[in-house]
Structure 1
Amino acid sequence: MNTASKRVLITGVNGFTGRYMRTELEANGYEVFGLGTHPCDDPNYHQVKLTDAQALHTVLAEIQPNAVVHLAALAFVAHGDANAFYETNLIGTRNLLEAISASEHTPECVLLASSANVYGNASEGMLDEQTEPAPANDYAVSKLAMEYMARLWMNRLPIVIARPFNYTGVGQASSFLLPKIVSHFTRGADRIELGNLDVWRDFSDVRAVVQAYRRLLEVKPVGLTVNVCSGNLYSLREVLSLCERITGRAISVEVNPAFIRANEVKKLCGDSKRLRSIIGEWNTPSLEETLRWMLAARE
């Protein structure tokens, strides 16, 4: 993306990832416009729901961005309303693509954030982009359906699909696992209730993830699906141990059967070779470094 084409639209700009995406782009000279569902005073911000197709058409015609980063989604897997996943993640994304396509100006790149949850728990080892999807919950199904739907637009729009594995950082909601653990340590709690302790995840740092997204926007590997992941697995037990070592505090863990989800993905580790072949050398901070950042920010 050259210096004359630096207008980027971020959907979900005020969400956890969106805030870091904005910072990353602005630090690299981009003019950022944002969409979201809550009020905001920023003149480059538009309060629009993805389910409002007409409003999206109006906003896209006005902004005419040179690139789009689509982050807005319903992402909490345990959300109680299954229909909401499809309304936001599938129909909302289709509305967005339709609005982009109807705009007089075609962006150079449209980056859609999917999820490594589409792989499910049917495959072991390092999961690359050729791994057969096997989604195990409505969130994952909605994301995979979004990917298939997006392919219908690839002859009209320069779409890149990112499949991020787990990532975290300061500001992530405490409904997510690592922020929940961190908050228990920082407030000096004696005990924590968790679900299955024997799950393994590939964790990245949100700051590295948004850097990867920016570099994908710049390289524009149109038509490709790309894992964004560290390639390193950590068990929930290891996360707890790291927090205990960093803080010098022990915590009692109680397994609550109500927190154990059906169809829990046991091991989710990504292969990042394609990402690195596209954008060059890229690394995420170690999980210990990310946890130290999170624990320090909450003190």
Structure 2
Amino acid sequence: MCAALMTGSRSDMSTNKRALVTGLTGFTGRYVADELAVAGFEVYGIGERLSALPRYTQVDLSDREALHAVVANVNPHVVLHLAGIAFVAADSAEAFYRVNTVGTRNLLEALANEAPNVECVLLASSANVYGNATEGMLDESALPNPANDYAVSKLAMEYMARLWFDRLPIVIARPFNYTGVGQSDVFLLPKIVGHFRQGAKQIELGNLDVFRDFSDVRAVVNAYRRLVQICPAGETINVCSGQSHSLREVLEMVGKIAGYDIEVKVNPAFVRANEVRSLLGSAERLRSIIGAWDSPPLNETLAWMYHLPSQ
């Protein structure tokens, strides 16, 4: 990890504080839980899956009564809302709005009514709200232009959350793409790394000339933890590396790590008409709030993923 990630106290306000993490059993949730625990938080979680994790409750975001009961029982000091449908190519558009937008509203309602000690609520939105940006570095002043239902559901969540700003200390994070050990191979980078780890000779992909700003999941959750400790309520903040890479470049990086080149077959079925061609973000606002922060170079993250087994 970059030394800059560890800048700042991990326990200046977190000892004996309760953190509620939605989507705790998901890819990001597991890293968030570890980050918060090291910082001294007592971590509670909710999610739609069964789990034997301590202080975890299975609850659906559409179940308002159950949400109110869980929130009242935990009485959290900070909340990190990660739960949602994150795979852009998911089939059901209705599910995006039901979970990402309405589910978030249900959570905020429960927090406003049942969490009198809450000091910060971080909502994970998405840089996909910026849409098909083709050039330039996007800061938070860029006008949203969502290009798919996933992005629209996240932007709708942001607007809906503003209705609660007078009742809850809400921070909206807009993470750009990020990856790491344990991410599902329905996402492109784990798919690419997985093929190389298996020694595959060929891989089927879509458009190779899409550019993304990729961060390391460990850096992202570090930023989340520091944001909830500082709590710049009412702010919308990019979480991004400030560097973009095409999938062609990713293939070259992993090829060097694995020691061979893979044949790429472009499958038209994987080429989406509403593909966001380029996303590159500015993390200046984030750094102005939390201080020194950075994400490891992408080739280091890919090497971590290649050399370690999936979690």
Partner of 1:155: 166
**Which of residues 147, 150, 162 in structure 2 aligns to 1:136?**
147
Where in structure 2 are the equivalents of 1:23-102 lying within 5 Å? Answer: 23-102=34-113
Distance in 2 (alpha carbons) for counterparts of 1:244 and 1:121: 29
Amino acid corresponding to residue 170 of structure 1 in structure 2: V
Indicate the SS of the match to 1:126: coil
Q: Does 1:271 align with 2:282?
A: yes
- The Cα of 1:39 is off from its aligned counterpart by 1.3
Amino acid corresponding to residue 26 of structure 1 in structure 2: A
Unaligned runs of 5+ in 1: none
Aligned length: 299
Partner of 2:13: 2
Distance in 1 (alpha carbons) for counterparts of 2:29 and 2:130: 24
Q: Does 1:284 align with 2:263?
A: no
Runs of 4+ with deviation above 3 angstroms = none
**Which of residues 198, 214, 225 in structure 2 aligns to 1:203?**
214
**Which of residues 176, 185, 189 in structure 2 aligns to 1:165?**
176
Q: Which piece of structure 1 moves more, 33-42 or 204-213? A: 33-42
Tell me the TM-score normalized by structure 2: 0.94
Indicate the SS of the match to 1:267: coil
Indicate the SS of the match to 2:19: strand
- 8 Å contact 1:186–1:298 — kept in the other structure? no
- 8 Å contact 2:71–2:115 — kept in the other structure? no
Q: Does 1:228 align with 2:222?
A: no
Distance in 1 (alpha carbons) for counterparts of 2:280 and 2:269: 25
Unaligned runs of 5+ in 2: 1-11
Q: Does 1:111 align with 2:122?
A: yes
- 8 Å contact 2:180–2:216 — kept in the other structure? yes
The alpha-carbon distance between structure 1 residues 79 and 239, as it changes in their structure 2 partners (threshold 3 A), is same
Amino acid corresponding to residue 243 of structure 2 in structure 1: N
Distance in 2 (alpha carbons) for counterparts of 1:123 and 1:192: 26
- The Cα of 1:297 is off from its aligned counterpart by 1.2
Distance in 1 (alpha carbons) for counterparts of 2:121 and 2:16: 14
- The Cα of 1:78 is off from its aligned counterpart by 0.4
State the Cα RMSD in Å. 1.1
- The Cα of 1:104 is off from its aligned counterpart by 4.8
Distance in 2 (alpha carbons) for counterparts of 1:111 and 1:80: 27
